[in-house]
Amino acid sequence: MTTFHSTRGTDDALTSKQAIRKGIADDGGLFVTDQLGESKVDIATLQGKTYQQIAQDVLGLLLPDFTAQELGECIAEAYGAQWDDERITPLKPLGDDYVMELFHGPTCAFKDVALQILPRFMARTTPADGDADERIMIVTATSGDTGKAALAGFADAPGTGITVFYPEGRVSKVQELQMTTQSGDNVHVCAVRGNFDDAQSTVKEIFADTELNACIAQEDHVVLSSANSINVGRLVPQVVYYFSAYAQLLERQAINVGDEVDFVVPTGNFGDVLAGYYAKMLGLPVRQLVVASDRNNVLFDFLTTGTYNRKRPFYETTSPSMDILVSSNLERMLYYMSEKDPRLVTYLMNDLSQWGAYEVPPQLLMRIRELFATGWADEAQVSRMIADCWKDHGYVLDPHTACGYFVMTQMPAEPGTPRVLLSTASPYKFPRTVNEALGLESDGTDFECMDGLSEATGTTVPPMLRELDEAPVRFRDCVEVSDMGHYVEQCAGNI
């Protein structure tokens, strides 16, 4: 029987459904299972399978208390016609290497892979205390990408509602319109007068506010939850595309069954690259996972020195979704790499909250470095990579993927081991940065930038981005930080 407990203690024994509904453990740790890797995915049968079939195999091992029928329904709903490529995450050659595009979902960012299926998982969980009327309301603060992907996933999902806060004037026009034009009867979008950190820390206070939570539970039968990548239900769907990459390499006859592969992963919260580690534990032949950062290179420093130190300047870069100082999912990697030592993890996380830093024992660092390589790119390098990759391969990178591309080109390839760069966003989500890098017109609106990029490169603007220009705006609310709690209460009465 597979059970989940906190990275910081083994007392809990939750099913995966309970862990998904609960999100984070009471002690602040992340849910993990000690059975991970006991059963493996049969890689000899991967070739020729669809993404959906691979998802059925992989998720069946990771979430064993969902029935095969429940998983099949979740998968069919999440990976259907809302994707503009039937392979869901298509693999394409890029010189001697490969790029796997994770941005073919409804919001053009890789977070769709997880956020299209998380609401479907949640709809198939049941309340702990048997209140059959209980609904879940997702509350999230966003600096851009997560908010829209979460809105698109949870819009009209049964038994759920969602409230998204974003900092007024600090997200791009495209990102703002993506959110304020969102359809669905259970969605709420609100600007906040403050910066992202203000909004984020107030959301955390709202989760911890027992009085407010008791009040909405009693009056509205609503519990609050998070769509952040700490939720195990958001992490495990990402394991699937690593196996899909392998299946596509087999189909291209780039490898034989059993051959090793390297993955290069643009990283912020360590969710995407952790999913690659889970894939390895499930039997995927992964030689190396390359952690690529932007100028906020806290992970690079950690992986090279063994000291994680979040007391450092925070840079707003051209790759905003990687601008992160605390990579929450690293905690899960530390748990597994320390041979499942919750006391060590507790000790390190206490150091992080008390001193803003921790240091792992040297043997642990050595073990981590055997699998995880690392590098980072500053903004000038990102810009140069977008130009170089277009010139060398006729392929347009977004600024996040460009960080990974830079790191990949800096590293020697291992002969016979293919390298797969994960591409996390469509370049059309960041048209101004891309146009500046390519020397194209970048003075006009974001939509003019998109049109210019399309014309110059012969690529197509994703319709869902281009059409935002004319979509009706549904949400114009803007509140003070101090009123966010009250806003959440109102929304809870309204889903």
Ligand X SMILES: *Cc1c(COP(=O)(O)O)cnc(C)c1O
Catalytic residues: 111
**Residue 387 to residue 379: CA distance in whole angstroms:** 13
Smallest distance from the beta carbon of 125 to ligand X, in angstroms? 23
Nearest to 30 by CA among 261, 333, 277: 333
Q: Which of 25, 322, 438, 464 binds ligand X (CB under 6 A)?
A: 322
Residue closer to ligand X by CB (options 61, 230) is: 230
Taking CB under 6 A as the binding criterion, the range among 58-66, 105-113, 306-314, 367-375 that sits at the site for ligand X is 105-113
Residues in the chain: 495
Residue closer to ligand X by CB (options 24, 250) is: 24
Residue closer to ligand X by CB (options 18, 328) is: 328
Q: What are residue 99's DSSP bridge partners?
A: 92, 421
Nearest to 325 by CA among 340, 336, 314, 341: 314
- Element of type H or E holding 342: helix 342-355
Query: Of residues 388-407, which lie at the interface with ligand X (CB under 6 A)?
Result: 400
Residues 418-437, one symbol each (x = binds ligand X by CB under 6 A, - = not), give ------xx------------
Residues 246-285, one symbol each (x = binds ligand X by CB under 6 A, - = not), give --------------------xxxxxxx-------------
What is the maximal distance between C-alpha atoms in the chain?
A: 63
Smallest distance from the beta carbon of 269 to ligand X, in angstroms? 3
Residue closer to ligand X by CB (options 270, 376) is: 270
Residue closer to ligand X by CB (options 216, 279) is: 279
Residues 130-159, one symbol each (x = binds ligand X by CB under 6 A, - = not), give ---------------x--------------
Other CB atoms within 10 A of residue 102 CB: 23
Q: Which of 229, 244, 293, 317 binds ligand X (CB under 6 A)?
A: 229
Smallest distance from the beta carbon of 225 to ligand X, in angstroms? 19
Compute, in degrees rounded to 10, the torsion defined by CA atoms 237, 240, 242, 246. -170
- Phi and psi dihedrals of 277, rounded to 5? -65, -40
What token pair was written down for 284?
A: 């995927």
321 in contact with ligand X (CB under 6 A) = yes
**Residue 452, C-beta contacts closer than 8 angstroms, at least 6 positions apart:** 431, 435, 440, 441, 442, 444
One-letter amino acid of 258: G
Smallest distance from the beta carbon of 149 to ligand X, in angstroms? 8
Other CB atoms within 10 A of residue 121 CB: 26
Residues of this chain that interact with ligand X (CB under 6 A) are: 109-111, 145, 229, 266-272, 321-322, 400, 424-425
